[in-house]
Structure 1
Amino acid sequence: MELTMAQRKAITTAQAKAWTKATKAEKAAILDAVVQVTGWHRDHARKMLRRAATGQMPGPRKPREAIRRYDTHVTEALVRCWAMLDGIASKRLAAALPRLLAALERLDRLDMSVEVRDQLLAMSPATMDRHLQPYRTGLIAAKGIAHTKPGSLLKSSIPLKTWAEWNDTEPGFIEIDLVGHEGGDNNGTFHYSLNATDIATGWTETCTVRSKGERIVAAGLDQLIGRFPFLILGIHSDNGSEFINHHLSRYCNLRQITFTRGRPSHSNDQAHIEQKNWSIVRRAVGYWRYDTAHELDLLNHLWPAWNTRNNLLMPSQKLISKTRTGAKVTKHHDTATTPADRLLRDHPDTLTTNELASLHHQIDTIDPIALGDHTALIQGNLLDLAKRRGTVQRRTKRNHVYLSRTKLNKRASSDESTTQTKRAS
């Protein structure tokens, strides 16, 4: 175990008593011993012995006073912008601030001085983390339950696509998944949110359907496809029966859309959409139960504003490379960029002239405060409805014995009777 600086100084002070009266050979032996114990260089050890012999051993350093470059006004402005963007990470926040502040200035709602604005734009992500640390305390994420039931129908006719085959993908290939709003009890009927994200750009669209029936899911998917600013070329899903069916297969064949699926029990084959299920759906509406027509209407009014803010204002990072050295995995990500900017920067030829003009118009006229007020109002109504229902107690399914397989393939032992015992006459 490495010695502390106080222990090294104590050893040097103890050896310095014999240093002043020692011969040349004895000083060399003392110096060798100090170097071996402390790990110092010989020149430094000799210097410390001389200082200790004359009583000039340096004391502990005074702690350096913190230099505050940013005052409380900058911190308050940073917290407001961070909350306006749903508390995103600092690397994403630093990339989002220029467009956010420009939009607020255009709307004459920039509630800060020019000096504070310039300091905010000059702040590094690490400094943002230090200033936001007190406000992040206590933010704990909950976990949900899975609702995917395997669909064997047409499984062999739908090609597999693994996580390693998504490199260099052009816009138009999306991953889809369902997120259940069961509130902890998956008995009865409840709503599902259909989530779709583009692999190349990260552009995400969402809608809520009343159940996971194949026709209802296909109708919701048709609604989502129309919201993307580019043509959809391929769809990738998991092995749930809501996707692996004749209806969705026929839908993709008629529109010449490539339909692929991931491997069973390999959620990393749908890694892009699995991440968006949390960052888009769960962050927006949480883990409450939604099963009424009014809640379905509120959810479908929430998603357009919520996804517009995420696609135009919220930067995201894409994984460039991953290197494993023993047990250590080093990941490298690109610079945080919004899905809209990633589309315009990396794939400018994907959009037509009208689609390009429409996207630029959305970026130039976006109102982050109006979007925030709209989503907060709907989220408040959903939260009131969910809390009014009360805590959902998770119940056991009627067929839980057969689902747990405790009564299947159970054979009698060799010494066990398989006939009922009869009463003695």
Structure 2
Amino acid sequence: MATRRQITKAQVDRYRTGTKAEKSALLDAICQVTGWHRDHARKALRQRLAGPAPVRAPRVPTFQYDQAVIDALVTCWSVLDGPTGKRLRPGLPTLVPTMLAHQELTCPPQVIDQLLGMSAATIDRRLRPYRTGLVATKGQSMTRPGSMLKSAIPMKTWHDWDDTRPGFLQIDLVGHDGGDNNGAFHYTLDATDVATGWTESITVRTKGERIVSAGLEQLRLAFPFAVLGIHSDNGSEFINHHLLRWCDTRQITFSRGRSNHSNDQAHIEQKNWSEVRRAVGYYRYDTTRELDLLNELWPLQSILDNLFLPQQKLATKTRNGAKVTKTYDQGATLGLNQ
């Protein structure tokens, strides 16, 4: 590479003063020696003619936030369980006065003004150092195929759902095996409404058919609206006669996703992490005491996530070649959305 640079440096004066025919011959000679394409050789010579690019002075931010503002931002971010800037920003005008009134946040007025004036992009930049190390681990899949009733339960993909009508749930089980799936351990049954994002959870002792159906009945009663349909993967804990009868007697539509297409259950897969794994981690839970504690946690988690944490939904998605542009609605709690 150094030799090629020396060649272009030595020939740049001839290229500057030469005629069109001389420049063409010079390019042929350089390409033969260096192995370059003619376009690249021409570009290298032109860059030599232009000289080194001017050094741009680093941009100085027009406004600097001191550490007091950042500390207040981190406190608010932690209270709302670490949302992104686009979800955190709309909630600050409500959250900050509430925390000040309960003395959970003590800041002078100028700090509050700067905090409330931050944009979502600035919030994400300022919080980037505090997100370091918050990378999620990955649990094992507990799905075992149930093939006996697949013909009786229709398949649906993500575009078959009516996202505007509350009552259609995606359901899934999260196993608490702690990395060792030997022996018995507990599972958390997770259900999320596609239209609103309202999510309820309950921990069950095993993933037996009757136990899962009983847990699903408790979740059905916990939702603030009528359950009209459920959508699951192809695991045997869901694809069975017991759950099919449970749906038939309650006039609930039962559908399933395609095998090996986890994106058919994209809503509940995301909630498995944000609602369950973030709350209780990847530890092993297999005792009666742990079962009771988990089921004491989920009603409190439901109140926090469904009523107090801002949520966002995808508004539009456009594709221009290989580039996909997504826009989201403004983050708000479910109470504000209603």
- The interval holding the TM-score normalised by the smaller chain is 0.7 to 0.9
Q: Give me the whole-angstrom Cα distance separating, in 1, the residues matched to 2:190 and 2:198.
A: 11
Letter in 2 for 1:133: R
Cα deviation for residue 38 of structure 1 reads 5.6
Q: Give me the whole-angstrom Cα distance separating, in 1, the residues matched to 2:132 and 2:256.
A: 39
Match of 2:227 in 1: 232
Does the CA-based 8 Å contact 1:194-1:221 persist in structure 2?
Answer: yes
Q: Deviations 1:3-62 (Å, cap 9, x if unpaired)?
A: xxxxxxxx9xx99xx99xxxxxxxxxxxxx9xx93699xxxx9xx9xxxxxxxxx97554
What root-mean-square deviation, in Å, do the aligned CA atoms of Structure 1 and Structure 2 show?
A: 2.8
Match of 2:152 in 1: 157
Question: Aligned to 2:140, what secondary structure does the other structure show?
Answer: coil
Cα deviation for residue 142 of structure 1 reads 0.3
Match of 2:243 in 1: 248
Question: TM-score by structure 2 length?
Answer: 0.81
Alignment coverage as a number of residue pairs = 302
The 5-angstrom pairing of residues 208-227 of structure 1 reads 208-227=203-222
Cα deviation for residue 116 of structure 1 reads 2.2
* Structure 2 residue 65 is the aligned partner of structure 1 residue 37: no
Match of 1:371 in 2: none
* Structure 2 residue 94 is the aligned partner of structure 1 residue 85: no
* Structure 2 residue 265 is the aligned partner of structure 1 residue 270: yes
Match of 2:66 in 1: 71
Does the CA-based 8 Å contact 1:158-1:260 persist in structure 2?
Answer: yes
Question: Aligned to 2:76, what secondary structure does the other structure show?
Answer: helix
Question: Aligned to 1:141, what secondary structure does the other structure show?
Answer: coil
Q: Give me the whole-angstrom Cα distance separating, in 2, the residues matched to 1:103 and 1:222.
A: 36
Cα deviation for residue 95 of structure 1 reads 2.0
The structure that has the greater radius of gyration is 1
The 5-angstrom pairing of residues 304-323 of structure 1 reads 304-323=299-318
Gaps of 5+ in 1: 1-10, 20-32, 49-57, 345-425
Does the CA-based 8 Å contact 2:170-2:194 persist in structure 1?
Answer: yes
Match of 1:29 in 2: none
Match of 2:136 in 1: 141
Percent identity, please.
60
* Structure 2 residue 188 is the aligned partner of structure 1 residue 193: yes
Gaps of 5+ in 2: 1-8, 18-41
* Structure 2 residue 107 is the aligned partner of structure 1 residue 112: yes
Q: Give me the whole-angstrom Cα distance separating, in 2, the residues matched to 1:302 and 1:139.
A: 22
Q: Give me the whole-angstrom Cα distance separating, in 2, the residues matched to 1:147 and 1:297.
A: 22
Deviates more, 1:82-91 or 1:61-70: 61-70
Letter in 2 for 1:313: F
Q: Give me the whole-angstrom Cα distance separating, in 2, the residues matched to 1:194 and 1:74.
A: 40
* Structure 2 residue 97 is the aligned partner of structure 1 residue 99: no
Distance change >3 Å, CA 39–CA 304, structure 1 → 2: farther
Q: Deviations 1:86-111 (Å, cap 9, x if unpaired)?
A: 11111111122223224324545442
Distance change >3 Å, CA 156–CA 102, structure 1 → 2: farther
Letter in 2 for 1:293: T
Letter in 1 for 2:96: L
The 5-angstrom pairing of residues 167-178 of structure 1 reads 167-178=162-173
Q: Give me the whole-angstrom Cα distance separating, in 2, the residues matched to 1:59 and 1:37.
A: 16
Match of 1:335 in 2: 330
Distance change >3 Å, CA 292–CA 38, structure 1 → 2: same
Question: Aligned to 2:171, what secondary structure does the other structure show?
Answer: strand
Does the CA-based 8 Å contact 2:169-2:193 persist in structure 1?
Answer: yes
Match of 2:287 in 1: 292
Letter in 2 for 1:95: P
Distance change >3 Å, CA 254–CA 62, structure 1 → 2: closer
Question: TM-score by structure 1 length?
Answer: 0.65
Q: Runs of 4 or more off by more than 4 Å in structure 1?
A: 58-62
Distance change >3 Å, CA 39–CA 337, structure 1 → 2: farther
Letter in 2 for 1:258: T
Distance change >3 Å, CA 62–CA 108, structure 1 → 2: closer
